[in-house]
Amino acid sequence: HIGDISAQAMIDVLRDKDSGVCVDSESFLTTASIVSVLPQDPSFPCVHYFTGTPDPSRSIFKPFIFVDDVKLVPKVQSPSFGNDDPAKKLPRFQEKPDRRHELYKAHEWARSLLENDQDKGQKLMRIMLDLEKQGLEAMEDILT
């Protein structure tokens, strides 16, 4: 990729299981990945692509540009337990709440589909990669 390091090239690197960059084993799992495009021209925005879910080979990189007054996306926020949070109750950490956000739960469902129904899993993966490609192209248009 000399002279042509693109966001897609970096995403491909992060998905590379053969090199050991992307790990999916019983003892260790790549938990999330990010690729950032930092333009040399300060008038252009920095674009960050987050998976927000484990195993980038099965996750989609979603574009994000930090702006003032950004609106939080509820589907990627872990649930809040307020005063009932085991980290706040005494004695601490006696319970283990389900902190998975909706995107993580959807990722788990997709992973199960990939493992248990190859045809439907591959179709879903093609759809997700197409959505990722659309996001990459839209951000490239913004930067050019």
pLDDT (tens digit per residue) in 32-57 = 899 999 988 888 889 999 988 888 88
Residue 134 reports pLDDT greater than 70 = yes
Give dist(CA 73, CA 94) in Å, integer. 29
- Residue 13: predicted pLDDT: 92
- Tens digit of each residue's pLDDT (9 = 90 or more) over 66-115: 888 888 888 888 888 888 888 888 888 888 889 898 988 988 898 899 88
- Residue 123: predicted pLDDT: 94
Helices 102-116 and 118-143: crossing angle in degrees, nearest 10, is 130
- Residue 63: predicted pLDDT: 92
Look up the pTM and report it. Answer: 0.77
- Residue 126 in contact with residue 58, Cβ under 8 Å? no
Least confident among 6-15, 94-103, 118-127 = 94-103
- The pLDDT confidence band at residue 1, using thresholds 50, 70 and 90, is low
Strand order of the sheet with strand 62-64? 34-37, 47-50, 62-64
Give dist(CA 121, CA 113) in Å, integer. 5
